Amino acid sequence: MTAVKVLIIDDEIEMASTLAERLNIRGFDASAVSCGEDALSLIQDRNIPDIVLFDLKMPVRGGMETLAAIKEFDSDIEVLIFTDKGSCHIENGDRHDKTFEYIMKSSPINEITDKINKAAAKRLAGGRQGTNPD
């Protein structure tokens, strides 16, 4: 089966690249970029991930703006928000959107892979892409 494609978007590129390497070792097809513009360039070249793991707070193009642009290419891409805050919510007008899964940047790798696998299963149930061989 095809490996789950994970795109990590975080301006802390060393941390994001290290996480991508750790995910690749575990059978994922992971890559990391440092900004929304780079993520959109990849996606516009038809390198569409199954899962996007991203930080909301990025310079130039913020996380929600990047997410909206990504979802235009494939609305079924699963999204995991990567945060260093104890809890956070995405503000949308006067309401808080709690539809996204959050992952603490300090989480153990097995917790991160569990959440990625759950998101991949959800995407697969919607008829999209492959699953992780592990």
Look up residue 93 and give its amino acid.
G
pLDDT attached to residue 19? 97
**Is residue 125 pLDDT above 70, yes or no?**
yes
Tokens of 124: 């697969």
Q: 80-115: per-residue pLDDT in tens?
A: 988 876 545 444 433 344 456 888 889 999 999 999
Q: 8-29: per-residue pLDDT in tens?
A: 999 899 999 999 999 999 999 9
Centre a 10 Å sphere on the Cβ of residue 93 and count the other Cβ atoms it contains.
6
* Alpha carbon distance 93, 134 (integer Å): 40
pLDDT attached to residue 64? 76
- Where along the chain do its domains lie? 1-48
Q: How many residues does the chain have?
A: 134
* Alpha carbon distance 54, 103 (integer Å): 9
pLDDT averaged over every residue in the chain: 81
